[in-house]
Amino acid sequence: MKKTILIIGGTGAQGVPVVKALASDAKYNVRVITRNASSKEAQDLATIPGVAIHEGNAYDEMTLRQAFKGINGVFVNTNGLAIGEKAEIYWGIRLYELSREFGLEHFVYSSLEYASKLGNFQSKYRCFLDAKGKVADYISAQPTAPMAWSVLTACTYMESLTELLRPTPDPSDPTTLVFAAPLGSAKFPLLHLEDYGKYVRWAFDTPARSNGLNLHVGTEDVNWSDLAATFTEMTGKKAVYKDFTLDEYFSRGTVPDPERKVGHSADPNDSTLLTYRESYGGFWSCWKDELSKRDYDLLDEILPTRIKSVREWMKKTGYSGEAKSVLKDYRDRTVMRKVSNMT
């Protein structure tokens, strides 16, 4: 009989390619939990054979108990930018506990780097990545039987080059596009979203290999000067890299409302919440100091067909540097800010 996989976070930028990869043939049924079954993202997924939409709040115990009935495995991608660090840690662990209670065969968790831990818990590295890393540590301490577990530690999406990381015209020379980041000469790992879905499919397909594994996935570690040069080569558009300080980076307006707390659906008075300035400061510090490495030879072995470079991705997607919305949470916050500014 076909196995049914529940997806937490299935309508987001990361979740959609996961759903598509699992539903790409007749091996799995896919159940996607979402707050709004009538949203465009949910409706698009519902047209895929083998995909069913379960309307409800993924951060509600009773809703989860209904969604967990009759499933064999679960993929979990919680949204800390919405619910905040404390809630993300709680729900990551609680979802694991429910999976054990319901006798699931396989629990696959979407993680991020535990930046503070990699940086010896120095405050300069503390950021929104940490919550998932803490949950990944908890999962990694659990037995690999009777329920298999796998952790896939992602990094920044390559598709963010059309949004948060996209180039903008140089004010002094509008014919030149500027890739700006507070990275110095460091290499920054990027991940093609479509391949991420395939890694999740691999984890469910090969539990003998993926059980007990924390796989750090990515496409390429990219030097931003090389990124600008590759962009010029592929598009014919002049581009340069400008290294900014963190203060200069935030003054550009790339991160909306830097003094706002991370966790837009959490209590804004919660003293444990970081501001976007604090959180993204830790984020960029982690990558500038190159605290994390990926084993690309292992990734080639697991997924030989993967996109292997930013050049290959640009060619595949026809990347031109134009703006395109990728992160639903970022898009929703931007809309909310515009509405707020008009009232």
pLDDT tens, per residue, the chain with 343 residues: 899 999 999 999 999 999 999 999 999 999 999 999 999 999 999 999 999 999 999 999 999 999 999 999 999 999 999 999 999 999 999 999 999 999 999 999 999 999 999 999 999 999 999 999 999 999 999 999 999 999 999 999 999 999 989 999 999 999 999 999 999 999 999 999 999 999 999 999 999 999 999 999 999 999 999 999 999 999 999 999 999 999 999 988 878 789 999 999 999 999 999 999 999 999 999 999 999 999 999 999 999 999 999 999 999 999 999 998 776 555 554 433 433 333 3
Pick one of 3.40.50.970, 3.40.47.10, 3.90.25.10, 3.30.1300.10 as the CATH number of 158-187+220-291+310-342.
3.90.25.10
Domain boundaries, the chain: 3-157+191-216, 158-187+220-291+310-342
At residue 42, φ and ψ (nearest 5 deg) are -65, -40
Q: Residue 335: its pLDDT value, please?
A: 37
129, containing H or E segment:
none
Provide DSSP, 144-202: SSSSEEEEEE--EEGGGGGTTT--EEETTEEEEEEEEES-TT-EEEEE-HHHHHHHHHH
Say what the pLDDT of residue 334 is.
47
The listed CATH number (3.30.930.10, 1.25.40.10, 3.40.50.720, 3.30.70.20) that belongs to domain 3-157+191-216: 3.40.50.720
**Whole-number Å distance between alpha carbons of 110 and 214:** 10
| Two structure tokens written together for 77 | 């991608």
Q: What is the pLDDT of residue 328?
A: 57
Q: Taking the model in full, what pTM does it have? A: 0.93
- C-alpha span between 95 and 194 (Å, rounded): 25
Nearest to 183 by CA among 291, 288, 255, 282: 288
At residue 326, the pLDDT reads 75
Closest to 168 measured CA to CA, from 251, 254, 94: 254
Helices and strands per DSSP (H, E), number in the chain? 15, 13
Cβ burial 302-313 (10 Å sphere, 16+ → b, else e): bbeebbbbbbeb
Name the region of 20 (left: φ>0; alpha: ψ -120 to 50; beta: rest).
alpha
- Reference 281, options 259, 307, 299, 298; nearest CA is 259
The token pair at 168 is 């903008």
Angular region, 79: left φ>0, alpha ψ -120 to 50, beta rest: beta
